[in-house]
Structure 1
């Protein structure tokens, strides 16, 4: 029995990939008989390809080229932007400082300016469509006065709040990445912290983001974007928050036990058990500075019947495409 509806017909390195439909496929036969994937790095060129008839779908394009209501779609994609807090190094090991970081960020000010208007302020590492997503969690408010109070309280207790914290950003990680990181740095400094921004290319940045962390490092925040289009928290929470997680900035044995229990559960019990995990990460441990569930933009030819969705960020299901 042939289980795959398409077969790789050609692969011309650096030029295109061609898939063809299997005529002996066992299931419902998709309408698309052949799909050619071409590679174009320039955003302007890719956006123009549908209009010229060179392409039928541009799965991801820049917001600046969205100008045709008949062909252009905006949708909540599976990416979440956030700052990973390294809780192993002072003063970031103090929950008051982590709360201050969250309270210092004016998330609303980014929407419609440096971040697309349709983005959603995040309270989770995973998007709202994920199993067990906790609707009771509320975004951290913008309250710089309370942030300053927490910084001063920590200082009075002997926490060295003057210690320089490095914010590690990745060049072109997402649109306006540099400008967003610059704004965040200013917001943190405005509440009495000492934050310095460093922007790095991906090869250097991953060394800061993933373990093993340097033993002699200072306190760090790392700006990152995480994709979970699979719909299950296990693909995010173990790696990002368990003690052994490759990109975890914390180690909490109680949280580890909660993650393990939720990961092993099934059905409705699995969804139920993930909710308190999300609450502990966001409310109790204040593990990270969550920013936004991001928006994607796609262009689709009017001859196709297909509407992009959260999965379009990582895959293009040919079986779901038909012709008008």
Structure 2
């Protein structure tokens, strides 16, 4: 167990303490006083989240806690994907064409202003792309979306952007839907906490540990949103989030479980998240494939979905779900077979594998409803199979240190509680970063799998689908780098004062422009 807190962990603890100190006068136990409680203006939509965003840095907007606030609200990209149809649509770019296998031209929207009044142009677009791929900034989007892809972006004139890739990349416009555009005055070598964007809302006030307020940007180029402002607060307990909607302290509460008591305000929706355990296959006993196989056999995924997740979800065998290019119908969830798990652990132990070495489950509070309970079920199953397992639940900032490379060196063998949402609809946004040897979220890879991923990334059409499916099947059979648990179903609570239709992208980007006053 890690006992020395990092600076991230210390900062997270201070924020939590600040939140606790302000949680006295409230109508819902432990919910804290709301800026909007007791007569909020009808022009403000009030949203309660499971956790405070760790940052609003645009190049980390592929992280759920950041992206659900930042993407398409504060900042925008050149392109955007329709979550319902998968179609790629114009955003800050009105059109694009492929000039050659490695060259693209983007025509940019005219008369767009950033929140600071500066003009959006091709120089800003090229700067934002370069910044996102700059290793000094260490952007999550760089690893998640680009995974080592080399490219150059050049401003031809104010409204024309040329992008050239080192290798053929048939989905470059889709990749660029994750590059949030910022002005050239943004720090080019370090992250920013509060960005300037072109979106329909700008940051008004971030009271750390308490609330975040966005206000409508009067100079927005597109259709003006209906709400003048959005107020975000965060409460770890799902029952409190649900109660805040029922008591008119919030209009929308996300990340709920069936038992949280949302009642008639509950709305279920299929999200694109898949829960899984990332296995650190570099450290014993997890470096033995028999132990990794045993972990998969020991977890009763159907039972987990039925009990802890209350039937909301579907047991899964791969983190690329149906509807995403590269999904393999041949991969089924690992069957629950405790006898086989025990047999594999015993065989490994007999061959000298230190199966008694303590394995730590690194969990994340609020990653999905009943996250801690889910890990307790996993812990019990793995201990029954013959492994030594303990749990360490962390808040998002401390947990990120284990999600993103380089990982803590003194952690020992770990299983990371994680969740992956492929909102882009292509396995390229999963395979390299999660399973590649040098992936931003990868704890282990092989040369063979790297080659399969590389081949798939350069393919198109039916060949692309088949190549990614082959890579996934190889991973499942010959690498076994994780234990996939379930494709998840989301629940949010919606007050009668607002209308909003959640979709597959809601967990990753909740567009305020899609939220409307009821009636």
Question: What TM-score results when the alignment is normalised by the length of structure 1?
Answer: 0.84
Cα distance in 1 for partners of 2:365, 2:492 equals 23
Where 1:100 maps in the other structure, the secondary structure is helix
For 1:18, the equivalent position in structure 2 comes to 215
For 1:161, the equivalent position in structure 2 comes to 355
Where 2:476 maps in the other structure, the secondary structure is helix
Aligned-pair CA distance for 1:33: 3.4
Q: Deviations over 1:212-231 (max 9, x none)?
A: 24555532222222232222
Residue from 157, 166, 184 that aligns with 2:378: 184
Cα distance in 1 for partners of 2:406, 2:509 equals 31
Is the contact made by 1:6 and 1:22 (CA closer than 8 Å) also made in structure 2?
no
For 1:8, the equivalent position in structure 2 comes to 201
TM alignment of 1:82-93, pairs within 5 A: 82-93=276-287
Where 1:39 maps in the other structure, the secondary structure is strand
Residue from 218, 237, 242 that aligns with 1:47: 242
Matched, 1:279 2:483: no
Where do 5+ consecutive residues of structure 2 fail to align?
Answer: 1-109, 114-197
Aligned-pair CA distance for 1:255: 0.6
Where 2:306 maps in the other structure, the secondary structure is coil
For 1:142, the equivalent position in structure 2 comes to 336
Cα distance in 2 for partners of 1:297, 1:37 equals 20
Aligned-pair CA distance for 1:152: 1.7
For 2:162, the equivalent position in structure 1 comes to none
Is the contact made by 1:82 and 1:223 (CA closer than 8 Å) also made in structure 2?
yes
Q: Deviations over 1:248-301 (max 9, x none)?
A: 121201110111121222333322221112112222211101112222112345
Moved more, 9-18 or 293-302: 9-18
Cα distance in 2 for partners of 1:97, 1:197 equals 18
Matched, 1:67 2:260: no
Where do 5+ consecutive residues of structure 1 fail to align?
Answer: none
Q: Deviations over 1:124-169 (max 9, x none)?
A: 2233332221122110111000111111222233323223322222
Cα distance in 1 for partners of 2:388, 2:335 equals 21
Cα distance in 1 for partners of 2:252, 2:349 equals 55
Matched, 1:239 2:436: no
Where 1:126 maps in the other structure, the secondary structure is coil
Q: Deviations over 1:182-238 (max 9, x none)?
A: 221111111122223333344443333433245555322222222322222222221
Cα distance in 2 for partners of 1:88, 1:216 equals 13
RMSD: 3.0
Matched, 1:212 2:409: no
Change (3 A) 1:214 1:321: closer
Change (3 A) 1:313 1:24: closer
Using CA pairs under 8 Å that are at least 6 residues apart, name the structure with larger relative contact order, 1 or 2: 1
Matched, 1:313 2:507: yes
For 2:316, the equivalent position in structure 1 comes to 122
Aligned-pair CA distance for 1:171: 3.2
Matched, 1:294 2:488: yes
Aligned-pair CA distance for 1:303: 7.0
Cα distance in 1 for partners of 2:359, 2:291 equals 11
Change (3 A) 1:21 1:132: farther
Is the contact made by 1:166 and 1:195 (CA closer than 8 Å) also made in structure 2?
yes
Aligned-pair CA distance for 1:62: 4.4
Question: What TM-score results when the alignment is normalised by the length of structure 2?
Answer: 0.55
Aligned-pair CA distance for 1:173: 3.1
